[in-house]
Structure 1
């Protein structure tokens, strides 16, 4: 089988690829070797798939359905492996092969085309929040994960640089950076977080109704993780005349349902929306940047 990367993956990785990166060119061969080594039977490449990895639906030699996932080093697949091993299937997809080649994960098969996002909005938020709560555990000793301070520190530098190049975003960037400084001064807890949690990252399963996939794990306070969920379906929020009020109600409802401080959730939602909007503008996605920065202005 020819392992052709989906267009969505090619486009997304192209936005972030460093000079000289040849991971996409080497991907078909790497996928062939991973399949042969494990004696897997390939069913299909998942399309449109994710933005940072190739996902292949396969069957093991004994017929067990599984997922083979290949990701470049900059997507931090080894951190994902470590987080999934620590969660051990509690609220998240299960590793079928704890130790394997770098950048290759063999995972439990879920229902890749059925995510929480397919549910009505209120139900989707409830199920997603319940799944997220199960992931918030103490990190392992000597954890190999970034902290929220480290990750947002890198992001802050990129935000400052963009504000200099595009002065129109500078006021929101300044507010977001000030919020980050205040939030990092006294974090209420340090938990292992999913890192990139949203409705589309929660898939239907057999062991449990819903399980999380695709973490970019980080250690820090729970409000940071929940912040990305607040802006889910942002395009729908922007289209509503009452979008700003709906967003504020969502912050309140999610904070109360997961025992997270409402102001801290609002602050991290603001920072993460501005960071994503600035990044979208930097890589040439002006429509996404406009939506995200308008959303951030409501906070």
Structure 2
């Protein structure tokens, strides 16, 4: 959890940037968020995030995107992991149909996948390390070994056959796409890296899980197909990247061994079968 005094940084930035609180603060393990008004009366959001390698360069990509597909960056203090952002609405993609959500995400990918930035980590090295991590997983783990072996093999193939890299959002899903005033939808909370666009689809499958109730296998496959259809990505490569990401997510859940682990394993089986 965030430290009890973590809101201190928020208050310091409110004072330093001449902001006025304009709503209730929201606290989570990942960030403190406060709706504010600027000195000019502009509605904004002040976000102070926990130190996190995944989101370390979020301010850089938000500035690079310049509001095209994502909320605008108004100001940043990288040393405090703080950003002042354009304020979007509260409605997210869970309020629209699955087909419509996949179409919105595909359109955002086309806007956000700009040329690679030298400041960002590359997936090529990461996926090679992931293959080694999977090779070391004990056979007796709660993840079926056939899934682990398949994901490890795919990770090696993907690292050996790396395409031209672009900037990836890294965590685009229903809750990270908000309705907005100047355009219908905007992305928030990037975890950016440089890599293969096919890497992007997995979060859209492990979120919005309730829609799969009673029909997990067909629901997952149907949503994956819709994403591929809307994005124009290669289905086999999208399936490969998704399986690798899902199995790695399951590995991270092994210590908990609860509902999330069961969900990731079910998702991986649906993709592989």
Q: Which TM-score applies when normalising by structure 1?
A: 0.82
| Correspondence list, 1:118-267, <5 A | 118-140=95-117, 143-153=118-128, 155=130, 159=134, 163-164=137-138, 167-169=141-143, 170-237=145-212, 239-241=213-215, 243-267=216-240
Q: CA deviation at 1:154?
A: 5.3
Q: CA deviation at 1:285?
A: 5.4
Unmatched tracts of structure 1, length 5 or more? 1-9, 11-22
Q: CA deviation at 1:137?
A: 1.1
Cα distance change of structure 1 residues 205 and 182 upon mapping to structure 2, 3 Å threshold: same
Matches of 2:29 and 2:192 in 1, distance apart? 16
CA shift digits 1:28-48 (9 cap, x unpaired)? 22222111111211133454x
Matches of 2:231 and 2:169 in 1, distance apart? 15
Instruction: Tell me the SS of whatever aligns to 2:119.
Output: coil
Matches of 2:232 and 2:83 in 1, distance apart? 33
Instruction: Tell me the SS of whatever aligns to 1:54.
Output: strand
Residue 5 of structure 2 is aligned to residue 31 of structure 1? no
Instruction: Tell me the SS of whatever aligns to 2:101.
Output: helix
Count of aligned residue pairs for this structure pair: 270
Contact 1:234 1:292 in 2 (8 A): no
Instruction: Tell me the SS of whatever aligns to 2:142.
Output: helix
Partner of 1:117: 94
Q: Which TM-score applies when normalising by structure 2?
A: 0.89
Matches of 1:40 and 1:285 in 2, distance apart? 43
Residue 253 of structure 2 is aligned to residue 275 of structure 1? no
Cα distance change of structure 1 residues 57 and 203 upon mapping to structure 2, 3 Å threshold: same
Partner of 1:19: none
- Higher mean alpha-carbon deviation, 74-83 vs 51-60, is at 74-83
Cα distance change of structure 1 residues 26 and 59 upon mapping to structure 2, 3 Å threshold: same
- Higher mean alpha-carbon deviation, 113-122 vs 50-59, is at 50-59
Partner of 1:14: none
Partner of 1:291: 263
Contact 1:235 1:291 in 2 (8 A): no
Question: Greater RCO between the two (CA within 8 Å, min separation 6)?
Answer: 2
Residue 50 of structure 2 is aligned to residue 81 of structure 1? no
Instruction: Report the aligned-residue RMSD.
Output: 2.3
Matches of 2:95 and 2:29 in 1, distance apart? 19
Matches of 2:140 and 2:12 in 1, distance apart? 45
Matches of 1:77 and 1:245 in 2, distance apart? 33
